[in-house]
Amino acid sequence: MDKGSALIVGVGPGLGLALARTFSQAGHPVAMIGRDHERLAQYASTLAAEGRTARPFQADAADAEQLQSALRDAVDTLGAPEILIYNAAILAPDTPIELDADTFAQRFAVNVTGAVIATRTVLPLLAHGRGTLLFTGGALALHPSPELMSLSVGKAALRAYTQSLHEFQKGTDVHVTTVTIAGAIGGDDPRFAPGALAEAYLDLHHQPRDQWQAELLYS
């Protein structure tokens, strides 16, 4: 049986690209969704040279219409999805009294609302109603930083959303998990190398039903 596609929202040179490489290596056609189409096209060329199937789709995660359109185009191109990975976030320094309402709303739209839009778009399209929804979380959800206020709020809200969705999907064939990464991606610790993290996401997708969990604390 052909494997369903993997839709990855938020693909950059670190974890996003590693996820695309890992899931395409596992036999899933991969949609790489992000704002920079030229960069995504370069990633697609690199993966194609490695014998993998990955396609670029341009969308700003803060724009609901763009994101929905890109996800649907990806499904039309690559087939019914088996995996959704929401990896988009805005990492920008800010404090609890610094941001104006518009800037905070724009960052929240990427950090959280885009995940809700992606979920609502992809759930009805899952192949045979089965699949895995994976959300990139972080230790800021547990230990907020006054220097990264909007991202702290976003990761906490994303964690709450994912855990609620996990409970809501109980009894179905949809596995919902947040990967709470409690370390510096790409730092000195090899456990937090992008490739090692991507393998953890793939392991979650292959996890037996009786081991499904709302959260993987990766520390």
- Across 9-30, average pLDDT: 97
Can you tell me the distance from the alpha carbon of 107 to that of 5, in angstroms, rounded to the nearest whole number?
28
Range of the domain at 43: 5-218
> What is the Cα–Cα distance from 174 to 212, expressed in whole angstroms?
10
Report the predicted TM-score, pTM, of the whole model to 2 decimal places.
0.97
Give long-range contacts, CB 8 A cutoff, 24+ apart: 183-188.
183/139, 183/218, 183/219, 185/14, 185/15, 186/14
Residue 55: predicted pLDDT: 98
The pLDDT, as a whole number, for residue 2 is 81
Angle between helices 194-205 and 15-25 (to 10 degrees): 50
Percent of the chain's residues with pLDDT above 90: 99
Count of domains for the chain: 1
pLDDT digits (tens, 9 = 90+) for 174-217: 999 999 999 999 989 999 999 999 999 999 999 999 999 999 99
107-162 pLDDT per residue, tens = 999 999 999 999 999 999 999 999 999 999 999 999 999 999 999 999 999 999 99
Q: In CATH, what number is assigned to the domain containing residue 183?
A: 3.40.50.720
Between the CA of residue 55 and those of 34, 37, 99, 106, 135, what are the distances in Å?
Answer: 11, 10, 36, 27, 20
